[in-house]
Structure 1
Amino acid sequence: MKISSSLSNNACSSSSSIHSASIDTTYNIPMKDITRPLPSTLDEKKVQSLMETIQTTETDQVPPIDVLWYEAPESKNNYFFAMGGCHRWEAHKRLNSKTIRAKLVRTTLNDLRIYFGSSLPNLK
């Protein structure tokens, strides 16, 4: 997937976290393209509340999630990893949303090795 052509973006001035505080652009990323590697303990009431909000208000009322973005240098394949935003992710998943609003945080292979250790998938 090419980042410039396959994702739609929207300007957004609010930040999701310290990692994306300086990132103004949000993207509507296909849910199927994002890997969520960490298990989560969810507050069911929070998930239900987010689902109601997503269904009844403008989508920009729910803050974007942060997604680590790695582009393999040789293949130019893009890899997306959601490390936070577990309640927002779960609400979109349960609603069968095709996309989720996200801020892309560029990452390196070395950083991914630190996050994943030996469980890092083969990123070709």
Structure 2
Amino acid sequence: MGLAYERRNVCLKWETTVCPKVDAYLKNLIDSARGIAVNCSNGQLFEVLTRSSHVVDLQVGECICREWQEHCSLYFSTQCYQNCYIETIKTILNQDKSFVDFENVEIKPPTTKRRAKKKKIPSQQ
């Protein structure tokens, strides 16, 4: 219960649209992509030149390499993370639990599976 409370308070302070780990990952990708050349065809169609050439259509939201089809999944957003911890968790009182008498419980050892015994030839004994 305390962990959910801490995470709820921490995520309310986030100012980005994605979680901080995803934001750091995206910044790392942006820094590594600084040397990539991009040519604009029209306002929505771009050609990305790396070792190979890829055409990205932002209006449709797809690339010919088909490695990404969405800009970012909803699950990485700050709003989705906040929705996970918005509900409060109610504790279960001890009086609702059934009482189990542990003194009379017989504990048996686990069954062990072994390799089959090697059959000996009677003449070698």
TM-score, shorter chain, exceeding 0.5: no
Of structures 1 and 2, the larger Rg is shown by 2
Query: Structure 2-normalised TM-score?
Result: 0.23
Identify the structure with bigger relative contact order (alpha carbons < 8 Å, sequence gap 6+). Answer: 1
TM-score (ref. length: structure 1): 0.23
| Structure number having the greater strand percentage | 1
